[in-house]
C-alpha cells in the first residue's frame, strides 16, 4: 500500500515534468508560463541516486561480511574501497559529460 502510494507520487512527479510544452500548445487560455528545467541537473541527480543506491548495497554487503567473519576485516575493507571507487566512477562519468555539455 505504502509502496504503491510512493510509486504513484513518483510517476506523477515525472509526468509533471512534461507538462510545460503541453500547456504552451493549449492556446492563450492562461498566461504564458514556461516550465523549463535544467535537464543536465536532472541527469546528474539520477546518476547520483543510482550511485547512492549501489554504494549503499556495497557497504551493506561489506558490513554484513565483517559481522559474520570479523577476521576477514582487511580483505573486506579492500573490496569495499575498490567497489565504491568503481561505482563512484559511473556517477563521475555523468558529471564529466555534464561539464562537457555545459
Residues in the site for another protein, rule: CB under 8 A? 81-82, 85, 88-89, 92-93, 95-96
Min CB(82)–another protein separation in Å: 6
Min CB(81)–another protein separation in Å: 6
Min CB(75)–another protein separation in Å: 9
Whether 99 and 51 have beta carbons less than 8 Å apart is answered as no
Cα-Cα-Cα-Cα dihedral sign, residues 28, 32, 38, 42:
negative
Question: CA angle 66-76-84, nearest 5°?
Answer: 115
CA distance readout (Å), 63 to 26, 33, 42: 55, 50, 31
CB nearer another protein, residue 64 or residue 88:
88
CB nearer another protein, residue 53 or residue 93:
93
Amino acid at each position: 500500500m505504502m509502496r504503491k502510494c510512493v510509486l504513484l507520487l513518483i510517476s506523477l512527479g515525472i509526468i509533471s515534468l512534461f507538462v510545460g510544452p503541453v500547456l504552451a500548445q493549449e492556446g492563450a487560455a492562461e498566461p504564458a508560463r514556461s516550465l523549463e528545467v535544467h535537464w543536465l541537473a536532472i541527469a546528474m541527480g539520477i546518476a547520483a541516486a543510482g550511485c547512492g543506491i549501489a554504494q549503499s548495497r556495497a557497504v551493506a554487503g561489506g558490513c554484513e561480511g565483517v559481522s559474520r567473519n570479523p577476521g576477514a576485516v582487511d580483505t573486506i575493507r579492500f573490496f569495499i574501497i575498490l567497489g565504491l571507487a568503481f561505482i563512484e566512477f559511473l556517477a563521475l562519468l555523468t558529471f564529466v559529460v555534464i561539464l562537457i555539455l555545459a
